[in-house]
Amino acid sequence: MEQPKYPASWSMFQRFLVKQIQESMKSIGRNSGRKSAAPQSEINHALMSAIEWLLYFFCLMDRSKISNLALSITHLTIPRVPTIGFENNVKGTFSAEWIVPSGATDDTPVILYSHGGGYVVGSTLTHRTITMGLAKRGVRVLSINYRLSPKNPFPAALTDGVSAYKYLLTEMKIPPSKIVLSGDSAGGNLALAIAMFCRDQRIPMPSGIAPLTPWCDLSGNSPCTFIEDEFSADILSGGRGFTALGKLYAKVPSYMSLPYVSPIHDIPSKAAPLPPMFFTTGTVDRLAPEIFAMFLKRVDAGETCQLYIFQDQMHAFQLLSFVPSSSTALDLEVEFVKKVTAGIPIQTAVCTVMPDGQRIEELTLDNVRNMLKSLIDRGTRAVKNDEVAVKVFAPYVQAIRSKL
């Protein structure tokens, strides 16, 4: 098998980290592909032994910066509340972290953050590089340990996410206008799902949503599932290894097309639009087509969205705080959060960020359409079956044509 083609801008340390994560993701794929799904402890060990150790190792190397952050971390227990139509009689509690910067007041914006990890791994601890990074920029963060599959498949995570949002509203008395939903990868998926559930149940909506490299299509039918070379450096593998995780989360086949599972299938409502959205992806992110399609679909329906495409960056690159683009991405997210929670209007925009994290250039919606079309064309060639490609890539083709 050919070696990954890492971008020239990557440091040796970033290449080392990504290589270890790639090996763990292969283990996850092998486990999740079994006829009898591996126990959660086995899946956790496969990924945690590499990813958590590496993240903690980096935190130790970077401890001088972390120790100097003027933040307080409080551990909370949040009661679960029913999600009508899914978990009507749910009980129990789950843990969370309340991260507050020095000098915060009742008016300081709040981010409800859901960690990534394919809905099978991850925790508040594994994602502190992001949550603490956000908090040090002047926002409060509620980071949650939602239930994980395969032991707790959909709708468990949705129930916990909605419960956390209601906890902010009812127990902590935080106005929805001061809250933004965020998360990376599966956590970005969950942030979108929480917002859609609130919209459908007429629960007061947050002021914004900030999905970071979100997983929008759990079916695994993204064009980049089938494209190898240019995405070989991503932490997500091609083929069906990673996408098998979607089946662990959506164990009932019909759930896969639910917007609360695969947000790409949501039909925007002009009568009840989602609040402003802030998307990020990278040119090495295997989920880029999903994010492009999601962005175009929402914008074409009249919703306000910002999309930042980071050159040479992989999936969930915000975890690597030593990468300049990671810092820039968090800066841009907090800028978005502070604006929407202050009631400052924002405009739909597309920008690309250079590898140095400093140079930002504006793009057009047509640029995004052309990038998505190119990925669909390459995915179609890789599938080598036009009839199959037309079927599996339908949501992506529809996103391109929605304004034509």
For 312-347, b where at least 16 C-beta lie within 10 A, e where not — what string?
A: bbbbbbbbbbebbbbbbbbebbbebbbbbbeeeebe
Residue 370 CA to residue 373 CA, distance in Å, equals 5
At which residue do the structure tokens 């009812």 appear?
A: 170
pTM equals 0.93
**Is 26 exposed, middle or buried (CB count within 10 Å of its CB: 0-12, 13-18, 19+)?**
middle
Q: Which residue has the higher pLDDT, 21 or 224?
A: 224
Q: Which residue has the higher pLDDT, 404 or 219?
A: 219
Query: Residue by residue, what is the 3-state secondary structure of 272-297?
Result: CCCCCEEEEEECCCCCHHHHHHHHHH
Residue 277 CA to residue 295 CA, distance in Å, equals 9
Most confident of 137-151, 220-234, 371-385: 137-151
CATH fold of 12-401: Rossmann fold (3.40.50)
Q: What pLDDT does 390 receive?
A: 77
Reply yes or no on whether the pLDDT at 185 is more than 90.
yes
Query: Is residue 199 within 8 Å of residue 272, measured between CB atoms?
Result: yes
DSSP letter string over 67-81?
HT--EEEEEEEEE--
Q: How many CA atoms lie within 13 A of 35 on its CB side?
A: 0
Residue 169 has a CB neighbour count (10 Å cut-off) of: 17
Q: What pLDDT does 151 receive?
A: 94
Summarised one tens digit per residue, pLDDT across range 327-376 is 999 999 999 999 999 999 999 999 999 999 999 999 999 999 999 999 99
Summarised one tens digit per residue, pLDDT across range 296-317 is 999 999 999 999 999 999 999 9
Cα–Cα–Cα angle for 167, 126, 12, rounded to 5 degrees = 145
Residue 367 CA to residue 253 CA, distance in Å, equals 35
Residue 173 CA to residue 300 CA, distance in Å, equals 35
CA distances from 234 to 180, 269, 288 (A): 28, 34, 11
The DSSP call for residue 9 is: T
The mean-pLDDT minimum among 157-161, 243-247, 258-262, 269-273 falls in 243-247
Q: Which two tokens stand for residue 316?
A: 């969930």
The DSSP call for residue 87 is: B
Residue 8 CA to residue 85 CA, distance in Å, equals 49
Q: What pLDDT does 91 receive?
A: 94
229 pLDDT band (50/70/90 cuts)? confident
Which one of 185, 207, 232, 326 is the catalytic residue?
185
Domain boundaries, the chain: 12-401
Cα–Cα–Cα angle for 36, 41, 43, rounded to 5 degrees = 65
Residue 122 CA to residue 113 CA, distance in Å, equals 12
Q: What pLDDT does 318 receive?
A: 96
Q: Which two tokens stand for residue 73?
A: 């971390």
Residue 102 annotated as catalytic: no
CA distances from 290 to 110, 217, 372 (A): 27, 6, 9
| 212: amino acid identity, one letter | L
Q: What pLDDT does 52 receive?
A: 56
CA distances from 95 to 144, 145, 173, 221 (A): 6, 6, 19, 33
Residue 109 CA to residue 138 CA, distance in Å, equals 8
At which residue do the structure tokens 């400093």 appear?
A: 358
Summarised one tens digit per residue, pLDDT across range 256-298 is 999 999 999 999 999 999 999 999 999 999 999 999 999 999 9
The residues pairing with 72 across neighbouring beta strands, listed in sequence order, are 100
- As a whole number, mean pLDDT of residues 168-197 equals 99
Average pLDDT over all residues of the chain: 89
At which residue do the structure tokens 């929407």 appear?
A: 340
Summarised one tens digit per residue, pLDDT across range 2-44 is 678 899 999 998 898 888 888 776 665 555 555 544 555 554 4
Q: What pLDDT does 22 receive?
A: 81
The residues pairing with 112 across neighbouring beta strands, listed in sequence order, are 142, 181
Most confident of 59-73, 82-96, 240-254: 82-96
Q: What pLDDT does 53 receive?
A: 61
Q: What pLDDT does 29 receive?
A: 57
Nearest-Å Rg of the Cα atoms of the chain is: 19
The DSSP call for residue 38 is: P
Handedness of CA 357, 361, 366, 370 (dihedral sign): negative
